[in-house]
A and B are shown apart, each in its own frame.
Chain A
Amino acid sequence: MQLKKILTYYVTGFVVFTLTLGVLEALKVIDLKGIGYVFMFFSVAIYAMIGFITRTSDPSEYYVAGRGVSSVYNGMATGSDWMSAASFISMAGTLFALGHMGLAYIMGWTGGYVLLALLLAPYLRKFGQYTVPDFLGTRYGGNPARVIGIICAILVSLTYLTAQLTGVGTIVSRFIGLPYEAGVFAGLAGVLVCSFLGGMRAVTWTQVAQYIVLITAYLIPVVVLSFNIFSVPIPQLTYGSILQRISVMENQIAGRENPNPRGIDEKELNKRIDGAKEKETRDLWAKDAAMFRARLSNPDSALKAMNADVEARLAALTPDAVNAKKLALEKEKADAMAMLNAPPQLDPKTKQPIDALDDAKKAELNAKIQAVEKSLAMLTPEAVAKAKEKAEADKKALPKDVDAAKAAWSGALATSAGQAAPPKPYLALPEGTGLLQFIGLILCLMAGTAGLPHILTRYYTTPSVKQARSSVAWSLFFIFLLYFTAPAYAAFAKYSVLENLVGISMSQLPSWIASWKVVGLFDVIDKNGDGIVQYADFVVKSTDFVVLATPEIAGLPATITGLVMAGGLAAALSTADGLLLTIANAFSHDLYYKIINPQASVQSRVLISKILLVAVALIGASIAAFVKLPVIAATVAWAFSFAASSLFPALVLGIWWKRTTTPAAILGMATGLIVSISYSILNFFSTAPNNLLGYSSPFNFFGLRHTESGMIGMPVAFLVIIVVSMLTPAPDKKLQEFVYSVRFPKGAQQGKEVEAIGG
């Protein structure tokens, strides 16, 4: 009962704390930055406290929380272990940008739990050791399989961990204004206090606490927004009609025929949308795109020409050049004046003026004088200084070398080409290779989900096989609450842009636009200079704004924005915790204890685990803070493909097909991993903006992108394992009996359900 009591206190405290901040904000005692600090400090302090209370050095507690976590709590912990910064902050934004295509993430990251529940979780729980390499080592009789398992687990988890720490750094720096690097390390401290002191036990209960924060933070803004628009606080139901309005408004913007096939009431649409002006704006962007494309087709000479141009401008502005030009101009002016004012020459015989200036000639001369005067005005010392300043700024803005130029122009090309395209229909299904990519991505994400070591380990912590089975259902339920809300977020954000931004005067932007524009998540550029915002003027730089700006769109106070930040932090920290533990355990338990020094005492094993934990954390944070691989953001999806191509096939076949042999599994895992990694890397680094829209790579099979390399790696791994198994002698009796043993719950070591944390 004590556990329930603690949770009640915790939730009450959390509500009171948030309300207090709200009141303080209303009294203008505290601003968003202050709220950010308070939220960050208190939430990390709470997680640290839980970590301290649940500290342990007992290996069973440290590695698998004493197998005492009941299915509901394990479900909650798995939920926050699973939902990362990517799920919390970026997923809704992905849906905003991709429309139907983005649903691959929703289906993939939930459907994987079906595979996990049906094919893996109960059997791993019956096996009842500590890690995924443990299972591979036992099933495939020996260290080679274990080592491959360790490599896979570390590779997959480290890729993912770095992305999480990057997420932590971004959140912390965005909200409380710490430098990004400091943000990474501040977050790291929060991660470490939990996992260092209490291993899996501390991480589990911290994750339960973090789940409560993150789900509350995620639901409040969009529930309020739905209530504001429809008076129904269930956004998951109401956004259907929003979807229809979005389609119609997009059609109007794109200038499609018959924009309103379903006859949506005009009153529900934005009447300020102006198809002609949208087209005009898009054409301007297209012109930009053409310019950048031309430069990119021959970057060397383009850069040279630009350099020469700036140099010429600067050369014309040196004092000598200015004086010379001034003199020349003054002479020109004097000549013209002289011509104009010259007394008419008289014909010596007739005494009549000859060559008299006719009116046209006079006007021409006057115009010339005016033009020269204008040019002279540009040569006053002030004007020269100004021109010089501008030329120097332009010179500074020029790319340093061809590589920098290429990078800058590619970015600009991508932006302008993106803005030049009419909005894709939000609800349209992907077609052709798009459909293949869509299905492929779903498959990779599902199989990857079921093969992620830090999630699989969670099912070792339940008290029984029966609870492991129901725990997967609970996990999916807790994840579902966030995932089925994300498309609503995306739809409401899209609607807000279309309805409240398009057609507004540049000087009267909605307040949420103004405040998030400053942060740099998007920009509003008046491309055609008419002072009115067109849809094509809205340049999205980071779709993260979808989740971050929704509280403000809904008219909620800054406290809720702070809460969302705390939720994002909780999501990133909880996932980082789980990953960190997995990596450290792969080193300490699997590599050190099981392979290098099996005589190690219980104490020394846990101690080594803890030391490695800190080491891995520092390595991960250093990569995130200092290396800042641009690849990182793009590579979260890689972790799934890698897991799907290595661990998933070996685990599934190991349980479901007794005939799977050791050499087959080792070869299969290695081949799958190598194929998948090589495909990702080759495709990623040959990807460049193509001639039409977006990016493509000449290196691809069936148009699959680097994120879907599992579509290649996974079938290869399955094939290799099956074929090699058939070619090698069947596993010996001991291994076959082991497979038998994991198939039945009877005889599983029982855990005692935890009644109270601490002590």
Chain B
Amino acid sequence: MQLEYFQLIDRIVDLNVSERTITVEAQVPLQNTIFEGHFPGYPIMPGVLLIEAMAQTSGWLLIALMKFERMPFLGAVKEAKMRGFVSPGELLKIDASVVHEGSGFAITAAKVSVGGELRCNATITFRHIPFPNPDLRGHMEAMAKRIGFPQQAIAHD
């Protein structure tokens, strides 16, 4: 997890295109300036970043389903529930699945757990469009390799 670069997930543990599910891991850093303010003397991971982590996890699943030809963008977050605190140094397991694939949009359900204990979950809506430029696609492909995105899921045209 590189909070400064808004990279919230570290590695894809499982990506099942036919089941439309993904599982990733993310290591919360032990130290970060964010924890100095959130909160002084009682550091916990901000809920908005946990939502972003669930959105990024869902995003990689959608990219895989769309054969790396389209980019999902966050549209709406519903029923986001912060059920327990996430502390510095904890290892997150984030699962996401597709609830609905519409025309130009998709809805996912995602959850974050630590050691088998559910910490938060949300339903997330994305709009997706063809990659707007080669730079973004190249950046996403490079990141995909870094986090263990199945290379066969990257279409080459």
Q: Do A and B come from one complex?
A: no
Q: Which residues of A contact B (CB under 8 A)?
A: none
Q: Which residues of B contact A (CB under 8 A)?
A: none
